[in-house]
Structure formats: structure tokens, C-alpha cells
């Protein structure tokens, strides 16, 4: 086993470990992540070889790079001693390679003059290859961690690593977060999901090339677009045709795929009430990813009438010689839909339609003042793998990831929202959660 150092992004620290666990599982790599500290961007791990390191980290969104550790220490003197003692047998392997030196500093940085002096202090490596700042064969990196005292930063790092770059991630090499930034996307709406967390969700759900990913509450297609980035075939549905058809111009869900060059991964989007799902039983779905409507911007609705008797009488209505509800311009009535019922339907659909090993990932809103683990919905065929929280003062949204188990799995079906009679998330949201509405 060899020691490697992962450089983590300082964003969404509560999601970083879960993403790494999911990627290790996706590639079948056994790795100890117990040293992860959400307050620091450095994580040392042990892996078999560079091939495993590349596979493990390459598609990460909340990590920047992984390095083969050559040495470490609390000062440059101890760092140099560590490099000579632990990695002396590696010097000749890269003696003729073109190379460059980089610096990564956390909470501090060296000036140009100091950097040059530090680089020259590694002269004992005796590299004979040419320095190539643009496209070197090897990139050696000094990673420094500083300590902050109040408003003042330390003038010397408290810990230093020296390593050889093994692999950059999607975040740094392909600039994936900026590429999918909603501000640069052709078609978005008020419900378009954050691009960075959408990509992370795909990683947690093991979205891979050739898999079919379904978003039953598509909106403007945020999850479909990021699923296609990872090579999946994307299909979606939404009860609101206006979201799918676009803004009256040529911009719509489909055009986003064309803009990103992933149109070949676009199956279709359907105007459909999820509770009256029209996808045939034989249609293979490997992964379900969605951000179900919370009922915040507008109340949750499904097809149906509040007053069934009154609606039944209207079935005989005739317009221009045609039965009204059979006309192409007929707008079907909608009735209120509770969040708890929607989650029941979503888990039941996933339990029925996903293959063994298939993933369901969705975001669920919770009020912080009445949250308990029992609120998290369960299904007898779905095992909860991740329950990750993104907090917004008085409420949170949670990313829940489930895996479909085989028939030997003895799970339970439970809906905590119903059992605790927690309702009206939308009403409480607009009241600032100042009142408990049960």
C-alpha cells in the first residue's frame, strides 16, 4: 500500500466524505477515510497503486486532486528529512522527466521569492529533465497548511506535504462546476437545481455511462443534464408542460443537451403526472434522481378533482360536438397532494421498478424544530445509504440515497411524516417556521 494525499475543495464539507465513500464503492476500492476532517482540505489515505488513485478520485466534484506522498513534516527541515528517508528510491524514476513545481496553500501562501528558495531547497532530488511549466510529464507539489490566530495569519506553515500529482479531478481538470453553472446555462427556471450539488448527487447515486436515469419531477432538467455528463441516458417527466416546453423561444430542456454536446444521451421528457405513471413496466430504469416539489412556490398538485361527484357530472359536457375531456385542448383538473403521499409514491415506484443494486436519490425538506430520524421515509426493499443535510437556518433539505435490495433484505416500510402527522411544509415555510402546523 502507498500513501496518498487528497486535496479537498472547501465547499459543502458535509458532503465530501459521502462522495468519496460512494466513489470508492463504485470502483470497488477499499480505502480508510476515517482521517477526514470537515474543517481541513487535506485527507491522507492508503491505496494500492496510482491506477486505484486515479479511478477513485478522477470524477470527484468536491475534491481537487490526489498526490503520491513523498514526505511530510511540521517544518521544511523535517519535510526534507522525510522525503530523503521515505522516497529516496523514487528519485531516479523521474530523473529524466520534464517537470514543474506547484504550491497549494491553505489559509496562507508564500511570495514568489520564498517559493523560489523553497524549490531550490529540493536540489537533492537531482532531476535532470527540463522544467516545463505548461505540459510537464510530472508535477511535484508542496502543500502547506497554515494556522490563523484571530485576524492574523501565521508567517510559517504548521504542516507541509510534498508529493507527486497523480490525478486531477473533474472539478479541476474539466472545470465541471463552472461548465454547468446555472448562470451560464441556456434554459433555467426558478426551480433549477444547483449544478454543483446536482453533480454530487449523481456521484452518490453511482450514475455511470450507459445507465438509464429517470427524473420524475424534471422541471428544467438539472439532474438530467448532469446525469448525461457522466454518460447516462436521461429521461424525465413533469406535470407542468410549461417547464418542459420552454420559454417560448428555442430554449428548453432539450436545447440544454445540445448546448452541452450530450444530445445523444437525451431520451425524452414527458408531460405526465408521476402518480399516473405511463412508463411501461418493461422500461429499464437503473437510477432515479430528483428534487421533488416541496409545495413552496406553489401548492403540490396531482391530477384529479377535489370534488369527485361534481367532476363526474362534468364528464358529459360537450364542446363543439366533442366530449370536453377528450378534446386536445382539455386541461385536466388538479387536486392537492401532501408531501408525505408523494414520498410514499416515490419510494413505492423505486422499490417496484429499480433493479437490485439500483439507486434512488432525492432531496427532502425538513423543518429543524421537529426533525427526528423517524421522519426519514423507509421502504421494505430499499436500504438507506446516505442521509446528508444542507441547513438553511430554520429548515433543511436532506439528500437521501437508497439502494434497491434483493428479496432477502428484511426492511420496513415507514412514513414518519404521516405517523407524526406533520403537514403543511409550505405554510410553515412562509411563516418562518414560527408556528407548528400539524
Question: pLDDT digits over 365-388, tens only?
Answer: 887 766 667 789 999 999 999 999
CA atoms of 370 and 372, how far apart (whole Å): 7
Strand intervals (E) in 121-255 = 138-145, 148-149, 152-153, 159-168, 212-215, 233-238
More confident residue, 61 or 415: 61
Do 168 and 215 belong to one domain? no
Average pLDDT over residues 156-172: 96
CA atoms of 213 and 190, how far apart (whole Å): 23
Domain that holds residue 393: 182-431
CATH number of the domain to which 392 belongs = 3.40.50.150
Q: Does a structural domain hold residue 212?
A: yes
Cβ contact 360:288 at 8 Å: yes
Do 159 and 202 belong to one domain? no
Grouping H, G, I as helix, E, B as strand and the rest as coil, residue 277 is coil
Q: Does a structural domain hold residue 58?
A: yes
Do 357 and 392 belong to one domain? yes
Provide the 8-state DSSP code for 193: P
Do 195 and 231 belong to one domain? yes
Grouping H, G, I as helix, E, B as strand and the rest as coil, residue 280 is coil
Do 220 and 356 belong to one domain? yes
Q: Does a structural domain hold residue 255?
A: yes
Q: What are the C-alpha distances in Å from 150 to residues 38, 64, 109, 153, 344?
A: 20, 28, 17, 8, 49
Grouping H, G, I as helix, E, B as strand and the rest as coil, residue 214 is strand
Q: What's the first-to-final CA gap in the chain, in angstroms? A: 55
Given a cut of 60, whether residue 296 has pLDDT beyond it is no
Q: Does a structural domain hold residue 437?
A: no
Provide the 8-state DSSP code for 378: B
Q: What are the C-alpha distances in Å from 238 to residues 26, 381, 403?
A: 30, 25, 24
Cβ contact 346:293 at 8 Å: no
Do 186 and 170 belong to one domain? no
String of DSSP letters for 45-108: EEES-HHHHHHHHTT-SSEEEEEEEEEEESSHHHHHHHHHHHHGGGGGGGTTS-EEEEEEEES-
Do 117 and 20 belong to one domain? yes
Q: Does a structural domain hold residue 438?
A: no
Given a cut of 90, whether residue 425 has pLDDT beyond it is no
CA atoms of 31 and 46, how far apart (whole Å): 7
CA atoms of 215 and 406, how far apart (whole Å): 23
Given a cut of 80, whether residue 338 has pLDDT beyond it is no
Q: Does a structural domain hold residue 414?
A: yes
Grouping H, G, I as helix, E, B as strand and the rest as coil, residue 326 is helix
Min mean pLDDT across 33-47, 202-216, 239-253 is at 239-253
Structurally, how many domains does the chain consist of?
2
Do 167 and 216 belong to one domain? no
Whole-structure pTM value: 0.89
Nearest to 46 by CA among 37, 34, 38: 34
CATH number of the domain to which 163 belongs = 3.30.2130.30
- Element housing 387 (H / E): strand 382-392
Given a cut of 80, whether residue 1 has pLDDT beyond it is yes
CA atoms of 75 and 69, how far apart (whole Å): 16
Angle 391-392-398 (CA atoms, 0-180°, nearest 5)? 40
Average pLDDT over residues 333-357: 87
Nearest to 271 by CA among 324, 226, 216: 216
Do 236 and 326 belong to one domain? yes
Q: What are the C-alpha distances in Å from 185 to residues 23, 229, 254, 264?
A: 27, 14, 12, 18
The domain boundary residue, chosen from 120, 151, 174: 174
Do 201 and 112 belong to one domain? no
The domain boundary residue, chosen from 157, 174, 191: 174
pLDDT band at 438 (very low <50, low <70, confident <90, very high): very low
Cβ contact 200:227 at 8 Å: no
CA atoms of 171 and 169, how far apart (whole Å): 5
Q: Does a structural domain hold residue 165?
A: yes
The domain boundary residue, chosen from 139, 174, 209: 174
Q: Does a structural domain hold residue 163?
A: yes
pLDDT band at 108 (very low <50, low <70, confident <90, very high): confident
Amino acid at each position: 500500500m502507498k500513501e496518498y494525499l487528497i486535496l479537498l475543495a472547501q465547499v459543502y464539507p458535509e458532503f465530501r466524505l459521502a462522495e468519496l465513500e460512494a466513489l470508492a464503492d463504485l470502483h470497488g476500492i477499499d480505502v480508510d477515510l476515517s482521517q477526514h476532517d470537515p474543517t481541513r482540505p487535506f485527507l491522507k489515505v492508503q491505496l494500492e497503486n496510482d491506477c486505484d488513485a486515479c479511478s477513485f478520485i478522477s470524477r470527484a466534484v468536491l475534491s481537487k486532486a490526489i498526490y503520491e506522498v513523498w514526505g511530510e513534516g511540521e517544518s521544511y527541515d523535517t519535510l526534507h528529512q522525510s522525503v530523503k528517508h521515505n522516497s529516496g528510491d523514487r528519485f531516479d524514476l523521474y530523473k529524466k522527466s520534464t517537470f514543474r513545481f506547484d504550491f497549494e496553500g491553505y489559509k496562507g501562501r508564500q511570495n514568489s521569492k520564498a517559493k523560489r528558495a523553497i524549490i531550490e531547497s529540493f536540489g537533492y532530488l537531482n532531476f535532470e529533465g527540463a522544467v516545463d511549466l505548461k505540459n510537464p510529464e510530472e508535477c511535484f507539489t508542496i502543500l502547506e497548511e497554515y494556522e490563523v490566530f484571530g485576524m492574523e495569519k501565521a508567517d510559517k506553515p504548521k504542516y507541509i506535504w510534498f508529493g507527486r500529482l497523480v490525478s486531477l479531478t473533474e472539478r479541476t481538470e474539466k472545470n465541471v462546476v463552472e461548465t454547468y453553472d446555472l448562470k451560464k446555462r441556456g434554459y433555467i427556471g426558478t426551480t433549477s437545481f444547483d449544478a454543483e450539488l446536482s453533480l454530487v448527487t449523481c456521484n452518490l447515486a453511482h450514475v455511470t455511462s450507459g445507465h438509464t436515469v429517470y427524473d420524475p419531477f424534471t422541471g428544467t432538467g438539472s439532474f438530467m443534464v448532469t446525469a448525461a455528463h457522466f454518460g447516462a441516458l436521461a429521461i424525465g417527466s413533469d406535470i407542468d408542460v410549461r417547464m418542459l416546453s420552454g420559454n417560448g423561444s428555442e430554449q428548453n430542456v432539450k436545447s440544454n443537451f445540445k448546448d452541452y454536446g450530450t444530445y445523444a444521451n437525451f431520451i425524452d421528457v414527458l408531460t405526465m403526472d408521476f402518480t399516473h405513471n405511463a412508463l411501461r413496466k418493461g422500461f429499464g430504469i437503473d437510477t432515479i434522481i430528483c428534487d421533488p416539489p416541496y409545495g413552496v412556490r406553489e401548492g403540490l398538485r396531482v391530477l384529479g378533482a377535489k370534488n369527485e361527484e361534481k367532476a363526474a357530472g362534468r364528464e358529459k359536457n360537450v364542446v363543439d360536438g366533442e366530449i370536453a375531456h377528450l378534446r386536445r385542448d382539455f386541461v385536466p383538473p388538479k387536486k392537492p397532494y401532501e408531501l408525505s403521499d408523494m414520498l410514499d409514491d416515490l419510494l413505492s415506484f423505486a422499490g417496484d421498478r429499480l433493479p437490485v443494486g439500483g439507486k434512488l436519490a432525492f432531496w427532502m425538506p425538513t423543518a429543524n424544530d421537529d426533525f427526528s430520524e423517524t421522519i426519514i421515509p423507509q421502504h421494505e426493499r430499499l436500504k438507506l445509504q446516505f442521509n446528508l443535510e444542507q441547513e438553511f437556518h430554520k429548515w433543511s433539505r436532506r439528500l437521501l440515497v437508497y439502494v434497491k435490495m434483493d428479496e432477502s433484505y428484511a426492511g420496513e416500510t415507514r412514513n414518519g411524516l404521516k405517523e407524526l402527522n406533520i403537514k403543511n411544509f409550505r405554510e410553515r415555510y412562509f411563516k418562518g417556521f414560527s408556528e407548528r402546523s400539524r
